[in-house]
Amino acid sequence: MESYLDRNVINLKNAASSGMFWHRDSIIVDGQKKIADFTMILLINGKFQDWEGADVVLQLGGKYGEVGGYNWINSDFPKIMLTPRYNEAIIFKNSDTGHMVTPLTLLSDSTVQRDVFIITCYIQ
């Protein structure tokens, strides 16, 4: 099991690039990089009235369209968009589900901070 805090400071200059490309989370197990079996995403800051977006999009199956590419291909399953809410976790089976995060949209000219606590686990 691994955990980390993903802290993002978003302003008008970087908001458009604040999303994350399609991927599956990895984890280090016995010194080797593995695909995590499960991922939990928890939004831990409660001040989100100044922004919207940053939705988590999940899709069962699929793979990268090219090595190192951001295209997610070969899945006939629908994309499911979930909006993280303060103090509510999103848990999914990472080993067979790709995911991405949409860019954050600011609702004012202010700079905002978005803190997400992420836990990944690998079951041996």
pLDDT tens sequence for the chain (124 residues):
999 999 989 999 999 999 988 899 999 999 999 999 999 999 988 666 788 888 999 999 888 776 655 567 788 899 999 988 888 899 999 999 999 999 989 988 889 988 999 999 999 8
Question: pLDDT at position 99, please?
Answer: 93
The full set of domains in the chain, from first to last, is: 2-121 (3.60.130.10)
Predicted structure pTM score: 0.87
The CA distance from 114 to 42, in Å, is 11
Picking from 41, 44, 42, the residue whose alpha carbon sits closest to that of residue 99 is: 41
Question: pLDDT at position 63, please?
Answer: 80
The CA distance from 69 to 66, in Å, is 5
